[in-house]
Amino acid sequence: MTSNSIRQKEIAEKTGYSINTVSLALKGSPRISEETRLKIMECARQLNYIPNVVARSLVQKKTNTIGIILTELMNPILTETAQEIEQLLKQAGYNMMLMITNFSPEQEAEALDVLVSRQVDGIMMYPLVRANFSKIRAMHDQRFPIVLLAGGEYDSPSDAVYMNRQAGAYKAVSHFIQDGHRRIGFIRGAMNDEEKQNGYTSALQDNGIDFDPGLVSIIQGDGYKAGYASVQSLYEKGKATAVLCSKDHIALGAMRWCREQGIRVPEDIAFIGFDDIAASSFADVPLTSVQYDVKSVTKKATELLLKRIEEKEHKVGAPLQKIAIDPKLIIRQS
């Protein structure tokens, strides 16, 4: 695009060879003699030749671009996810087109369309809701490589790699129960926390504890503030002695409130969060947390996606694959 943009044509004219020879020489084809190859390479270097990947993509039907669709970036899990994927893809010779949906089903659908029209070789996405599952299923059925980064509870319409959130919640609640807790609260977001709640309720059930809707609090907005504001009702209303929070931020906010009220953690009330963010280990009372293993998820997901792309190139069929990664409970003092 730069004004001095030079193409293979120019270096062909300059060296006296045909465009074809230039093309072959530049990619080091053995069919070109060492001598002319060097001559051409040297000329290309002097003219500062930069290949036009768009043209190459058109003829090769391959862009070496992967689309990434995330609901947001400010969530530390997704921040790390994006960064890890970028690194892994780069190592494999791919680049990344990033799309943020802001939790909007319309933007999610739009992102899928845009990426397809841009001929990306594959898509990784952190899906929002079921809203676009039919679309995703259709793409998968047409053998478009698409890997979801979540999808435990539901019938994934495509390949998926995910942390088993339900198992994580189950582990956390079981840990509370082992410590003697019977009245266990749960603070969760309005969306996307169904799996965690399933783990919460089934752990209660398996231990013969009745589910009390009054011990579940659904919050909105910033986790820290909402945790700070919502824990009071659980503490007073049901006298919960332990609270599972669907995010560490929520737990940290709640613990802040407790400290200000002179309520001791974990003696008076215990907490477990999700995701094991950095701040959790540094909290006044280091927070026990269900770890989200970003590196494992992104690694598996990238491997799976690249495998799908390769399979497609070789027209190999393969069944839908779902990879669940079991979270660890990082036990600290809360």
**Residues at the contact surface with a second copy, assessed by CB under 8 A:** 1-4, 50-55, 57-58, 61-63, 65, 72-74, 76, 79-80, 82-83, 86-87, 90, 95-100, 102, 113-114, 116-119, 121, 139, 142-144, 222, 224, 253, 256, 278-279, 282, 284
Name which position in 4, 13, 14, 33 contacts DNA (CB under 7 A): 33
Q: Does 95 bind DNA (CB under 7 A)?
A: no
Name which position in 38, 55, 73, 318 contacts DNA (CB under 7 A): 55
Contact 235, 263 (CB under 8 A): yes
User: Of the two residues 58 and 138, which places its CB atom closer to DNA in the complex?
Assistant: 58
- 4's CB contacts (< 8 A; 6+ apart) are 48
Q: Among DNA, a second copy, none, what does residue 95 contact (CB within 5–8 Å per kind)?
A: a second copy
Q: How many residues bind DNA (CB under 7 A)?
A: 28
Q: Does 102 bind DNA (CB under 7 A)?
A: no
- Taking 3-state DSSP, the helix, strand and coil percentages for the chain, each rounded to the nearest 5, stand at 50, 15, 35
Q: Centre a 10 Å sphere on the Cβ of residue 196 and count the other Cβ atoms it contains.
A: 26
Contact 287, 332 (CB under 8 A): yes
Q: φ, ψ for residue 113 (rounded to 5)?
A: -60, -45
Q: Does 48 bind DNA (CB under 7 A)?
A: no
Cα–Cα distance, 89 to 303 (Å, whole number): 9
Cα–Cα distance, 231 to 217 (Å, whole number): 8
Q: Does 205 bind DNA (CB under 7 A)?
A: no
Contact 235, 207 (CB under 8 A): no
- Shortest CB 50 distance to a second copy, Å: 5
Give the interface with DNA as residue ranges (CB under 7 A). 5, 7-9, 16-21, 23-24, 26-27, 31-36, 51-52, 55-56, 58-61
